[in-house]
Amino acid sequence: MHSTGAIASVKIGGSFVSTVTNWNVTEATSSPNTVVSSNSKQGTLASHGVKSWSGGFTYCGLSCPFIPGKKYSFSGYSGPTGSSDNTGIIKSGDVIITGLSTTIDWNTNAPITWAVTFQGVDELTTSTGAAIDSTTPQIVTPQQGTVTVSKSTGSAVTTSSWELSQITFNITAAISGGIATSNSNGWAKYTGGAINWTAGYTFANDDYSSLGLEVGDDISTTISFGNAGSLAFKWTRINELGDVSFDNSSAEPVTQTVNGVMNAYSGSYGEVTIGSTVIWPTLTTTTADDDDDNDETT
């Protein structure tokens, strides 16, 4: 019987991720050092390179038990392998979350899913055991939410004629390192770095009027899903206003695309919330005292 991964699951930081649809792991080595010597018969000898691993998984819903740039323990359960029970391989090790991305599409109303990427920090181990998943399924669709897009001045962008048909959101964390040490057993070590994101919007308009956005504007985005939580992020600095699309053949509503990048500060500091978890910022600084007998924290 072939392995199927029919009940594959993922655990991050000691907690199982709800409603996982797939996961993957890739192992690799850096380019090996090579030698051609007097006794290699004009062949090339290759030494072991530095080992590393990376991977990702996809899950549904609005829970987010991890933060980009942070290190967590990872376990990926396969099961079943070669039988009808839930026993299979388990891939385990420490990882840094390097990316989270989603597309929220009101036109299809497809369940909200997140594609997660990670970088292994040290050694990857393989064992066998039962596939486990203690979570409750989560399915959240765009039509369950209400969306607000506002400029940094606080004024709403959308009007009764402009509505969103799609939002894409991709947040990443830089990594550095890739260094093997005397006690890393040939595996590369990494650390997490700065946060960045990109966002894209598709607006649709039944009765065309100006959208009211300009390149350089900073906007905040909030999609509230009641008890399921929200997706909220600010500030997105607009760096592209796409062409307004008029199509004679389809006579569909007028559309305009808007793309932007992260801007951490626009009169106030930004923030990213998924579900009920603030995933950025997670660090604070205490600035110099301004003589009011209180430390200032940002």
- What single letter denotes the amino acid at residue 202? T
Neighbour tally for 112: CB within 10 Å: 23
- Tell me the pLDDT band of 115, cut-offs 50, 70 and 90: very high
107 has pLDDT over 60: yes
> What was the pLDDT predicted at 208?
66
Give the integer Cα–Cα distance in Å for 254 and 234.
Answer: 26
The residue to which tokens 């979350």 are assigned: 97
**How deeply is 96 buried, as exposed, middle or buried, from its count of CB atoms within 10 A (0-12, 13-18, 19+)?**
buried
**118 neighbors 54 (Cβ within 8 angstroms):** yes
What predicted TM-score, i.e. pTM, was given to this entire model? 0.86
**For 130-177, what is each residue's pLDDT tens digit?**
888 878 899 999 999 999 888 887 655 554 557 889 999 999 999 988
CA within 13 Å, CB half, 195: 22
Say if residue 111 is preceded by a cis peptide, omega within 30 of 0.
Answer: no
**Which tops the pLDDT comparison, 224 or 1?**
224
Residues of the chain above pLDDT 90, percent: 50
| Structure tokens, 242 | 């796409």
**279 neighbors 273 (Cβ within 8 angstroms):** yes
> What was the pLDDT predicted at 1?
45
Round the average pLDDT of the chain to a whole number and report it: 85
| Structure tokens, 256 | 């305009």
192 has pLDDT over 80: yes
| Structure tokens, 35 | 């030698």
In DSSP terms, 261 is beta-bridged to: 198, 237
